RNA sequence: GCCCCUGUAGCUCAAUGGAUAGAGCACCUGCCUUCUAAGCAGUAGGUUGUGGGUUCGAAUCCCGCCAGGGGCGCCA
């Protein structure tokens, strides 16, 4: 926002350094800490250190301070800059407060929902996420994946990337067949009512089937032979699926659709609009096709003549002497494909059909090795996009009693947590939100409950594991989603009372003595565009989650300490109303990027 | 055996080379006849696992060690 002033000053600094033969490194600007005023700061330690290394006998900190002081004199006065100071090796430039506040507020009011949006980067990115296996219910671990992926997609899109959202559900595999087998054998023709009930029922069948198919300790010969008979039936079913048997395929499609209906409903609740669906079952044929090409190119080695598989010795092909990517298999000795094969075929499709420049995989960190192998093979294959494939790994979500396990039925379902969240919000809403109209309660309870859950998932860095504690995830106090939503609601409340919609907000000047809370609030608002870029560049929704809390915190403090409607001075009142409108807008934009809704009242 | 991640306040987590390591929870103290108390203000809490190194400057980068988690040819 002060780019012009910054450029003028940079030019002066460069000129001075060139004249005096001071080796200047790159100028890095940052906000001035602890000042309670706005400004930017740069330091001269790097320049002084370069001089020291060149043989000058100097103390680096003292020399940095000396340079800063000289430059301070050189700069003199610049329009829009109220004062310049040199302290501890830093050069601090303070902006004129009224001018700065006016620029920030005017820009946000003019941009509205687009405040913070980055210029188009002319680069297409695909984010792959929200991909549970079908025939299972959606649990809280899937929720972490989906929320992380959606927040990331929103961030990169708002930052200026052309963005495609893709889901790649695992709709086939032994687990899926196990459910088909048990359904067909014990529950044929049954179908519970309700999208989520039906999905959860399939999960129950899976638990039962696993118990029947897993070897038990001390099992009797009769139990053993029954189990083996069941297992043979299951394998036969898998063979029939593979052969395209109509009965098995129809059964599979019907039950798969049950799962997909449930998944689509959850995506609807989470406000996720997927652009592309890739199904694992569809990747099988293309996967087989790429194997011959990889052999022909000398990337893969065919050991089938020796009774082996088709493999890629990744380290050897890359010319690495130390083991890093190791070796992986593309085709089993029986000729069937693997996860890696399908992922390679899918990547090819992303590059060639969707013209993706960057490809982000939001996948459990335990698959890190697998994806590194896939990216390495894509590079060997000659795809330049391989360098811009990125695995956004995240730690897994476990329960206080241990890891979640679908096959043992030990999972916490997303839908159950959401229902509980709504119950809890409704319970406190009558007490804390008496202004909430009766007919809106359910809707607002969902927004707040979901806000709490979503924020708890985004407020932890993705490299960390989460032990899911429902009381923590649904907490409404402190550093939480509802805390941020509440700041939005309070801002909205002031504006409603003032009956001053942003569109016809009267102009005002910030030429009065600003309260420190106003200074802090404007400071944070002005940082929003940079925060968008940082979060998108680092692929880290956490950056935005932290920012949103800080912004809400600044607003709550402002709200408490600074009167808006009760101010006598007309100009001050008008200026503060504009500031409230701008804070509301920025909180809304931040929440939107986090996939958290902003209720008007709560 | 090799590779990856994690270790920061009692607990859960921020801060990725800069000025004084920050929040929340829990604990304690104040603040609702005043724009919504799902809030605000304050007290207290730290040899950043450990030992070296690089640097003017290290929680952050490098090396060793300790502790916990995850992964490593026909699962996904």
Q: Tell me, in Å, how far CA of A329 is from C1' of B73? A: 6
Q: Which nucleotides of B are covered by protein (CB under 7 A)?
A: 2-6, 12-15, 18-20, 23-26, 34-41, 55-57, 69-76
pLDDT digits (tens, 9 = 90+) for A145-175: 999 999 999 999 999 999 999 999 999 999 9
Burial of A457 (0-12, 13-18, 19+ CB in 10 A): buried
Q: What ipTM did this prediction achieve?
A: 0.96
Q: Does residue A178 contact residue A234 with C-beta atoms inside 8 Å?
A: yes
Distance CA A521, CA A583 (A): 8
pLDDT at A323: 83
B71: residue with closest CA to C1': A366
Kindly tell me if the per-residue pLDDT of A340 is higher than 90: yes
Q: pTM for this one?
A: 0.95
pLDDT digits (tens, 9 = 90+) for A105-157: 999 999 999 999 999 999 999 999 998 999 988 999 999 999 999 999 999 99
Q: How confident is the model at residue A502 (pLDDT cuts 50, 70, 90)?
A: low
Tokens for A234, please give them. Answer: 């299951």
pLDDT digits (tens, 9 = 90+) for A378-399: 999 999 999 999 999 999 999 9
Kindly tell me if the per-residue pLDDT of A504 is higher than 90: no
Nucleotide nearest to A49 (CA to C1'): B56
What average pLDDT does the structure give for chain A? 93
Give the mean pLDDT of A14-20.
Answer: 90
Q: List domains and CATH numbers for chain A.
A: 3-95 (3.30.1360.70), 170-274 (no CATH)
pLDDT at A500: 64
Residue A227 CA, chain-centre distance (Å), reads 44
Nucleotide nearest to A307 (CA to C1'): B74
Nucleotide nearest to A486 (CA to C1'): B38
Nucleotide nearest to A45 (CA to C1'): B56
pLDDT at A27: 86
Give the mean pLDDT of A483-491.
Answer: 97
Q: Tell me, in Å, how far CA of A85 is from C1' of B61? A: 31
Q: Tell me, in Å, how far CA of A368 is from C1' of B40? A: 45
pLDDT at A435: 72
Q: Tell me, in Å, how far CA of A467 is from C1' of B18? A: 35
Q: Tell me, in Å, how far CA of A41 is from C1' of B19? A: 11
Q: Please state, for a pLDDT cut of 70, what percent of chain A lies above it.
A: 99
E-only strand ranges, A20-161: 30-31, 39-43, 81-87, 90-95, 124-128
pLDDT at A503: 63
Q: Does residue A443 contact residue A474 with C-beta atoms inside 8 Å?
A: no
Q: Tell me, in Å, how far CA of A361 is from C1' of B52? A: 39
pLDDT digits (tens, 9 = 90+) for A443-462: 999 999 999 999 999 999 99
Q: Does residue A137 contact residue A203 with C-beta atoms inside 8 Å?
A: yes
Q: Tell me, in Å, how far CA of A206 is from C1' of B24? A: 40
Tokens for A365, please give them. Answer: 């960190």
pLDDT digits (tens, 9 = 90+) for A257-277: 999 999 999 999 999 999 999
Nucleotide nearest to A478 (CA to C1'): B24
């Amino acid at each position: 926002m002060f780019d012009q002033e910054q450029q003028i000053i940079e030019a002066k600094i460069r000129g001075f350094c060139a004249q005096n033969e001071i080796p200047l490194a790159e100028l890095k600007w940052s906000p001035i800490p602890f000042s309670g005023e706005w400004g930017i700061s740069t330091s001269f330690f790097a320049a002084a250190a370069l001089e020291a290394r060149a043989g000058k006998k100097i103390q680096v900190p003292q020399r940095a301070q000396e340079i800063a002081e000289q430059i301070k004199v050189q700069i003199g006065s610049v329009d829009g800059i109220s004062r310049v100071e040199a302290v501890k090796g830093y050069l601090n430039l303070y902006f004129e407060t009224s001018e700065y506040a006016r620029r920030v507020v005017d820009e946000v009011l003019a941009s509205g929902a687009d405040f913070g949006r980055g210029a188009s980067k002319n680069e297409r990115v695909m984010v792959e996420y929200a991909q549970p296996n079908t025939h299972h219910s959606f649990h809280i671990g899937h929720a972490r994946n989906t929320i992380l992926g959606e927040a990331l997609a929103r961030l990169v899109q708002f930052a200026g990337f052309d963005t495609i959202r893709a889901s790649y559900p695992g709709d086939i595999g032994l687990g899926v067949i196990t459910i088909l087998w048990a359904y067909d054998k014990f529950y044929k023709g049954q179908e519970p009512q309700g999208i989520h009930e039906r999905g959860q029922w399939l999960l129950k069948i899976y638990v039962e089937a696993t118990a029947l198919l897993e070897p038990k300790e001390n099992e009797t010969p009769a139990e053993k032979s029954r189990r083996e008979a069941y297992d043979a039936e299951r394998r036969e079913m898998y063979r029939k699926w593979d052969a395209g048997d109509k009965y098995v395929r129809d059964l599979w499609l019907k039950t798969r659709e049950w799962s997909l209906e449930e998944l689509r409903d959850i995506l609807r609740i989470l406000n996720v609009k997927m652009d592309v669906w890739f199904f694992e079952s569809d990747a099988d044929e293309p996967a087989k096709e790429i194997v011959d090409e990889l052999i022909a190119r000398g990337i893969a080695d065919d050991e089938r003549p020796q009774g082996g598989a088709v493999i890629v010795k990744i380290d050897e092909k890359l010319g690495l002497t130390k083991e890093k990517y190791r070796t992986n298999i593309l085709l089993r000795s029986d000729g069937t494909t693997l996860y890696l094969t399908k992922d390679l075929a899918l990547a090819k499709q992303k590059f060639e059909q969707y013209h993706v420049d960057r490809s982000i995989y939001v996948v459990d960190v335990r698959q890190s090795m697998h994806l590194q192998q896939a990216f390495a093979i894509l590079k060997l294959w000659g795809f330049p996009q391989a360098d811009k494939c990125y695995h956004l790994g995240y730690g897994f979500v476990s329960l206080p009693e241990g890891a979640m396990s679908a096959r043992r039925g030990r999972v916490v379902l997303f839908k159950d947590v959401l229902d509980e969240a709504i119950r809890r919000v409704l319970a406190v809403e009558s007490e804390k939100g008496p202004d909430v109209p009766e007919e809106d309660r359910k809707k607002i309870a969902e927004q707040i409950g979901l806000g709490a859950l979503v924020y708890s998932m985004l407020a932890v860095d993705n490299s960390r594991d989460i032990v899911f504690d429902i009381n923590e995830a649904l907490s409404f106090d402190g550093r939480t989603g509802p805390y941020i939503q509440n700041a939005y609601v309070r801002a909205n409340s002031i504006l409603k009372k003032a009956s001053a919609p942003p569109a016809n907000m009267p102009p005002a000047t910030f030429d009065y003595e600003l309260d420190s809370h106003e200074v802090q609030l404007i400071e944070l608002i002005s940082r929003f565009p940079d925060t968008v870029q940082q979060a998108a560049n680092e692929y880290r929704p956490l950056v935005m989650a932290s920012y949103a809390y800080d912004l809400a915190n600044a607003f709550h403090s402002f709200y408490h300490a600074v009167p808006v409607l009760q101010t006598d001075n007309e100009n001050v009142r008008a200026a503060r109303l504009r500031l409230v409108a701008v804070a509301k807008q920025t909180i809304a934009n931040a929440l939107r990027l986090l996939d958290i809704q902003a209720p008007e009242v709560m």
